[in-house]
A and B are shown apart, each in its own frame.
Chain A
């Protein structure tokens, strides 16, 4: 069935380092793709999304491009901050109902 696979981590970076969290998907149709973030003690917040191939989602310095040829939606940020420490979830919506989430990647940014 439709699913996402993401880099599991944990990932530990120094402040201002470059971040990549890999996400690949399997889908029979044309899903929308999402990155959600979960800060400590909080719920899931939408970080960015892309609804069709070649779309780039961006927010708060994070970017991800929907690449159909490689079935990927990797999350990137050029310069991370301590406040970016959180768990990041890649997700896809294949059919207007249930979202499929990756396992989550815990990011810790050290000053």
Chain B
């Protein structure tokens, strides 16, 4: 069964460093998402992406964050200058269509630790 994959599974970085989290969505899906889950808290929406542009973003997704689909398969989340509070599990998701009846399929997550 097709699945969303994410790399790396874990990343440790120093405050102020840039990180890039990578995702490979399911191949025929058209809509892509990033979410994060701070330890012990709920999963929060960051951004949605369709047709090579951001379609919606949350208040969390400030100027430090950016997303890109650099080729036909990867979908990346960049954090320009990490802060301690960026430590979280980051989930990528993809969906075939932009219909709320369609399931969003989630990757296994990247656990980011900012020291």
User: In whole angstroms, what is the CA distance A4 to B56 when docked?
Assistant: 20
Asked whether A98 lies within 8 Å of B33 as measured between CB atoms, the reply is: yes
Cβ 8 A contact of B45, one of A45, A100, A103, A104: A100
Q: How many of B's residues come within 8 Å of A, CB to CB?
A: 25
Q: How far is the CA of A91 from the CA of B100 in the complex (A)?
A: 12
Q: Of B6, B48, B91, which is within 8 A of A98 by CB?
A: B48
**A42 proximal to B (CB < 8 A):** yes
Given contacts A43-B91, A43-B108, contact A96 B103 (CB under 8 A): no
Q: Which of A31, A89, A98 has the most CB of B within 10 A?
A: A98
For this complex, 30 residue pairs linking A to B, each with C-beta atoms less than 8 Å apart, are A31-B100, A32-B101, A34-B103, A36-B106, A43-B91, A43-B106, A43-B107, A43-B109, A44-B91, A44-B93, A44-B109, A49-B103, A89-B43, A91-B43, A93-B100, A93-B104, A94-B100, A96-B100, A97-B45, A97-B48, A97-B55, A97-B56, A97-B98, A98-B48, A98-B56, A98-B58, A99-B45, A100-B45, A101-B35, A104-B43
Interface residues of B (CB under 8 A from A): 6, 33, 35, 41-45, 48, 55-56, 58, 91, 93, 98-101, 103-109
